[in-house]
Structure 1
Amino acid sequence: MSTTAEMSAADVAVRSIMIMADGERTDFDELIHPEAVNHEGRIEPPASRAPGPAGFYATALWLRTAFAELAYEVHHVVADGNLVAVNSTISGRHVAPFVVYTSEGEVDTVFPPTGKTFASTQSHWFRLQDGKVLEHWANRDDMGQSKQLGWIPPTPAYLFRMARAKSRAKRAAK
C-alpha cells in the first residue's frame, strides 16, 4: 500500500471507507488524522466519538460486530482540493445486536439480529489535511436499510425482542 503522501485525496477518502469493513488499526493510523472528527458519531458508542484513528476504528468495530460480510462498493468519487465526496453502497448481514446510543452515550435503541442481508446507498464527505482524513460526514439511506432488515415496520414479536435486547445492552454497559 502506498503512503498517504503518495495517494490522491480521492484515494485516501475511498480507502478510509474500505477499511471500515476490513482494515486493521494500523490502516486507520495511516489514513486518519490524529485530530479527525466523525460528525456522524453522535449515535455511535462512546469510544467511536474519540478524535482520530481510535474513534474511527471503534466505529468500524461497532459496524463489524453487528454486520457480517460488511462491504462497500464505490460508485462515484469527486475531489476538489482537500474536499472529497464519495457515493457508495454498503452491504452486509445482520448477525448481532445493533446498538444505537443517545448523545449522552447511553443505550437508546437495540435492533436484535435478523440474519437478513441489506444493501443501501450512502454519500460520504471528507475534508483532508496533511494527506489524511480530518473530517467526515455521511448521508445514508437508513430507512431503506431498516426496511430490508425487517426493523420497520416492526412486528409485535420484534418489538418484544428489541425491548429484551435493550435491557441486556443496558446491563452490559454498566
Structure 2
Amino acid sequence: MDATSANPTGDKATCIRAMELMTTGTVDDFAEVYAADALDREADDHPPLRGPQGLHRSAVRLREAFADMHWEVHRAVQDGPIVVLHTTMSGRQQGTLTAYGPDGAVRAVFPSRGRSFAVTQTHWFRMEGGMIAEHWANRDDMTMGRQLGWIPPTPAYIVKMVRARRQAQRATKV
C-alpha cells in the first residue's frame, strides 16, 4: 500500500461522509474531506468546480433542485488511492435543475414536476493524504430522467424547459 492510501478504512469513511455532506454540509464541512484543489470531474453538468467551495456549490445546486435527497451506500471498496462507492441516490424534484456546458453556459433546464426518483450511481474518489483529491461518477441519468418525467418530454414540458432555459441564460449574463 502506498502513502496516498495508508488508511483504507478511514478513506472509505471519508468518502461516505462526503456523500452525506451533499445533503447538509457547509463549506467548512467540505473542507474537512476535500483537498484545497480537489477536482469534481462532473464539470460537464455544471461550471468547473475545484476545492471545497466548488464542491459545496455543486451540493447547493442539487439541494435546490431535490428535496429529501439521499445516497444509500451499498458497498465501499478501495484499491490503492481509489475509493469506489456503489450507491442509490433518491429524492424528489422540488426545484429547477440546470445543466451547464464545459464553458459554463446554460445547456438545458429541467423544471420540477414534483416527482420522486431512485437511481443507482457509482462514485469514484482519488485520495491524497486522507483527503479527496478527485471525484467522478457513473450515473443512470436516463432512468432518473424517465422517473422525473423529463424523458420523453411532453410538448407542454418542452415549452416549460425552453422558458426556464431562457430565464437561466438571462440570469447568468447579469
Aligned-residue offset at 1:24: 1.5
Q: Which runs of 5+ in 1 are unaligned?
A: none
**Residue matched to 2:12:** 10
Kindly provide the CA deviation profile for residues 30-59 of structure 1, in whole angstroms up to 9, marking residues without a partner as x.
000011111112221x2xx23110111011
**Residue matched to 1:80:** 79
Structure 1 CA distance, aligned partners of 2:49 and 2:141? 23
The answer to whether 1:124 aligns with 2:126 is: no
Kindly provide the CA deviation profile for residues 91-145 of structure 1, in whole angstroms up to 9, marking residues without a partner as x.
1111111100111111110001110000111000111011100011100000000
Q: List structure 1 runs of 4+ shifted beyond 2 angstroms.
A: none
**Residue matched to 1:109:** 108
**Residue matched to 2:33:** 31
Partner of 2:15: helix, strand, or coil? helix
**Residue matched to 1:134:** 133
The answer to whether 1:40 aligns with 2:42 is: yes
Identity %: 43
Structure 1 CA distance, aligned partners of 2:97 and 2:110? 5
Aligned-residue offset at 1:18: 1.2
**Residue matched to 2:4:** none
**Residue matched to 2:163:** 164
Q: Match for 2:132: what amino acid? A: V
Q: Match for 1:97: what amino acid? A: T
Contact 1:69 1:92 in 2 (8 A): yes
Structure 2 CA distance, aligned partners of 1:131 and 1:91? 28
**Residue matched to 2:21:** 19
Instruction: Say what the alpha-carbon RMSD is for the aligned residues.
Output: 1.4
Q: Match for 1:41: what amino acid? A: A
Q: Match for 1:92: what amino acid? A: G
**Residue matched to 1:153:** 152
Q: Match for 2:96: what amino acid? A: P
**Residue matched to 1:64:** 63
Structure 2 CA distance, aligned partners of 1:170 and 1:40? 20
Contact 1:9 1:81 in 2 (8 A): no
Contact 1:83 1:125 in 2 (8 A): yes
Structure 2 CA distance, aligned partners of 1:123 and 1:74? 10
Structure 1 CA distance, aligned partners of 2:171 and 2:80? 44
Aligned residues: 167
TM-score (norm 2): 0.92
